[in-house]
């Protein structure tokens, strides 16, 4: 049975079908927001995913904003200006504006430097709203804890609900650090706790994430809603593998194990390379047919040694098998997925793992770590395989069937495409809109009195 990206309050009850919820939203049984302020401080929806701090959250914001606009909800995304030649306002799509806010120097700031610029960013957001008539924004939706800090203040000032999506959490990441990776600072933990306290609604990608918000941060049951992210089914769809390989310069008969994403310890591309080395040591005859493309750029702590993965490939003796490619746009990324035998995601932590859905939508199985939302995105043994832990030997055993058994790849690829078809962004946006309507239908949360006094 296809698992649809539905929204539910965090309790044991079945949600009504998406179509029924969308109808209720559209006909007014829950008040529709006319316009929302969406906050993304540390990464712009205009940035190329796969490098720097741009990743799945960028895709999430772009796709969600477009689909919300299609439902009649205007979206204005506030993000930090990162270049002097950026216009103050960019129309991303009909009904979706990106507003650039000057906060600190345009270049040279890493994510860890941004807390010092939150005051300036908040000033820019509040000044924009002050240029309109009161009530210009009906709701604030913040993404990641830095934006949540700004959203907390803006929602109080405007007397509107705050909806927040964490995307990742410090306590969860610190509990599953890659070897040598840097723990998230205590300041982030404190900031996330404050945002949870302030939010009227918290949108989690999975039920497990909702449970983590409750257990780690004390989120209340009436705050929590689960909305599975979606996938752009118009861009990511099955296609001709032979044509995709010809376009990308990949051998037609190769076994292609693809890594696509930011190159940093958290995403664990080194585990894939070590597993390939183990596999080739066990089965040296596979070297002639194996190709391992790594599509992405350094990010986070990976920026400290941007060539570390290339050096590792050489040290492992698999430099002839591994190919490195810079990040690509969505249409070309879809070609990489179609060309692949399997997508490999050995991450230590993933709130959901959008690339897993994208690959499956293209008819490609996924071999992924059994962490975070990946057990929801990938059906173990049906649309791919889930691996517990990060031992290269275990990963080599999990990957070998995808190199040697084309009938397995074909069967799981077909199942993967059917599975991903249940995760369209339209349904995710309808579910998010329901969360908005619920937040607007009742008084603001714990800070509601303060909000009313401020306006």
Annotated binding residues, written as ranges, equal 42, 48-49, 53-58, 111, 144, 168, 188, 262, 267, 328, 337-338, 340, 350, 358, 364
Q: Cα–Cα distance between 171 and 430 in angstroms, integer?
A: 30
List the 139-143 sheet strands across, edge first. Answer: 7-9, 224-227, 201-204, 162-165, 139-143, 35-40, 74-80, 96-101, 89-93
Place of tokens 């005051």: 119
Query: Which string of DSSP letters, residue by residue, matches 84-97?
Result: TT--SEEEEETTEE
Bridge pairing between strands 322-325 and 201-204: unpaired
Per DSSP, helices labelled H in 159-206 are 170-174, 186-198
Collect all residues with Cβ–Cβ distance below 8 Å to 356 and sequence separation of at least 6: 343, 345, 366, 368, 374, 377, 378, 384
Residue numbers belonging to the annotated binding site for 1D-myo-inositol 3-phosphate? 42, 53-58, 111, 144, 168, 188
Q: Residue 108 gets which letter from DSSP?
A: S
The helix or strand, by DSSP H or E, that contains position 289, with its residue range, turns out to be none
Residue numbers belonging to the annotated binding site for Mg(2+)? 337-338, 340, 364
Place of tokens 């009504």: 16
Place of tokens 């490098």: 51
Q: Cα–Cα distance between 62 and 137 in angstroms, integer?
A: 19
Q: Let me know how long the chain is.
A: 455
Q: Cα–Cα distance between 76 and 19 in angstroms, integer?
A: 26
């Amino acid at each position: 049975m296809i698992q649809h990206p539905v929204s539910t309050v965090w309790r044991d009850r079945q949600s009504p079908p998406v179509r029924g919820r969308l109808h209720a939203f559209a006909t007014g049984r829950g008040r529709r927001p006319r316009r929302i302020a969406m906050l993304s401080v540390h990464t712009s929806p205009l940035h190329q995913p796969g490098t720097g701090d741009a990743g799945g959250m960028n895709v999430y914001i772009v796709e969600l904003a477009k689909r919300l606009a299609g439902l009649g909800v205007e979206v204005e995304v506030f993000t930090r200006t990162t270049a002097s030649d950026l216009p103050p306002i960019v129309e991303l799509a009909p009904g979706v504006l990106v507003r650039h806010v000057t906060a600190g120097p345009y270049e040279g700031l890493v994510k860890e430097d941004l807390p010092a610029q939150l005051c300036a960013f908040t000033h820019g957001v509040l000044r924009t709203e002050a240029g309109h008539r009161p009530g210009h924004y009906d709701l604030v939706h913040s993404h990641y804890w830095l934006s949540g800090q700004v959203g907390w203040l803006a929602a109080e000032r405007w007397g509107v609900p705050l909806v927040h999506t964490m995307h990742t959490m410090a306590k969860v990441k610190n509990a599953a650090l890659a070897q040598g990776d840097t723990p998230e600072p205590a300041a982030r933990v404190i900031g996330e706790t404050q945002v949870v306290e302030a939010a009227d609604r918290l949108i989690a990608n999975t039920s497990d994430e909702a449970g983590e918000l409750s257990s780690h941060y004390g989120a209340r049951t009436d705050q929590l809603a689960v909305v599975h992210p979606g996938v752009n089914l118009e861009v990511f769809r099955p296609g001709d593998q032979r044509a995709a390989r010809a376009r990308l310069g990949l051998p037609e008969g190769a076994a292609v194990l693809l890594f696509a994403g930011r190159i940093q310890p958290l995403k664990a591309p080194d585990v894939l390379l070590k597993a390939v080395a183990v596999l080739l040591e066990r089965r040296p005859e596979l070297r002639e047919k194996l190709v391992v493309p790594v599509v992405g750029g350094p990010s986070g702590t990976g920026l400290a040694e941007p060539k570390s993965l290339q050096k590792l490939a050489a040290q492992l003796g698999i430099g002839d098998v591994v190919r490195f490619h810079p990040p690509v746009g969505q249409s070309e990324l879809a070609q990489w997925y179609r060309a692949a035998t399997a997508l490999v995601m050995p991450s230590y932590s993933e709130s959901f793992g959008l690339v897993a859905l994208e690959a499956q939508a293209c008819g490609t199985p996924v071999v992924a770590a059994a962490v975070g939302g990946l057990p929801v995105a990938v059906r173990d043994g049906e649309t791919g395989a889930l691996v517990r832990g990060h031992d290269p030997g275990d990963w080599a055993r999990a990957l070998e069937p995808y190199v040697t058994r084309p009938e397995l790849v074909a069967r799981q690829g077909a199942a993967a495409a059917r599975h991903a078809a249940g995760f369209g962004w339209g349904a995710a946006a309808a579910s998010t809109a329901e969360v908005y309507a619920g937040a607007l239908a009742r008084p603001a949360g714990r800070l509601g009195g303060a909000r009313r006094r401020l306006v």
